[in-house]
Amino acid sequence: MSVGLLAVVDDILTAALKASAKTAGVVIDDAAVTPQYVQGLTPARELHVVWRIALGSLFNKFVIIIPLALLLSAFAPVVLPFLLILGGTYLCFEGAEKVTEWFGVHHAAADTEVRDEGKLIFGAIRTDLILSTEIMLIALASLDPDFGIWMTLGALVVIGLGMTLLVYGAVALLVKIDDIGLSMMKNSARQVRRTGARIVAAMPTVFKVISVIGTVAMLWVGGHLVITNLAETFWHGPYDVLHAVTHAVEGAGPVVVWITDTAMSAVFGIVLGLIVVGIVLGISRLLKRNQPETVAH
């Protein structure tokens, strides 16, 4: 009995690990996005806020996302590819919006109000709901459909717990590492003080690099999600182009194939994202233009 139970646990862990690998892009993005919510808070409140966001993330996964995902996969599996297309499009939009901001296009007004902790946590949990939905749906789509409901549930639980620990553990480290550096700068040993100063000086660059990696990951994952799930629904064109190009470079080895696939997915993602950004900006400007007329009447 114990041997059989160990075999089941091993199957669940193996399946969860394989499925988790395909969520890497969204996980990187999640870890890159979250630190912005604690910037500007007092150091004493940072870990508390990260902890509350992590609890909210667990609520999102285990109370909302996993039950709905299992219900849809059992009773309306045809809906899942469309949800993945919508989610992928949203990731492309977010990624393209960040890219345009690099070139001076600002999409939101500057935040001049005092940062309210409750609002920050709510906003972070809301963003996490979108990213966690992507993580869990990608994981679900990666699991063997013949796995069975309880094995699937077990794998999703493992993935949900693992990803939450990974993301928010990394976030907690990122937001506190500058405090560690400041503490080291007060040490009596000269070499320790220098190391602490280097850590503090490097953190702005570290956050910029993480932001760039997160943006590229969003475009790559979002583009790949849309391409793959469009092929499963109603349009094979982008997938056929991607397949033809990756097939043409197969002789160069799996690394080149992966780079090609990733680059083409990211290019598709940025193009789709820029289209959506253009539509959103157009609608926003139209609404702002009509607003004074509405007030006048």
pLDDT, average across residues 271-286: 91
The pLDDT, as a whole number, for residue 106 is 65
pLDDT in tens, 121-176: 888 888 788 778 878 888 887 787 777 788 888 888 988 898 889 888 888 888 88
- Give the three-state DSSP class for 11: helix
Burial class (CB in 10 A: 0-12, 13-18, 19+), 156: buried
The pLDDT, as a whole number, for residue 265 is 92
Angle ∠(241,247,253) on CA atoms, nearest 5: 135
Rounded to the nearest integer, the mean pLDDT of the chain is: 82
Q: Between the ranges 83-87, 129-133, 239-243, 293-297, where is the mean pLDDT highest?
A: 239-243
Least confident of 100-114, 145-159, 279-293: 100-114
Other beta carbons less than 10 A from residue 27's beta carbon: 24
For residue 25, which of 139, 145, 125, 101 has the smallest C-alpha distance?
139
CB 219 within 8 A of CB 276: no
Q: Which residue has the higher pLDDT, 187 or 11?
A: 187
The pLDDT, as a whole number, for residue 271 is 95
pLDDT, average across residues 79-96: 86
pLDDT in tens, 6-37: 776 777 777 777 777 767 666 766 776 677 67
At 197, phi and psi to the nearest 5?
A: -65, -40
Both structure tokens of 195: 């190391």
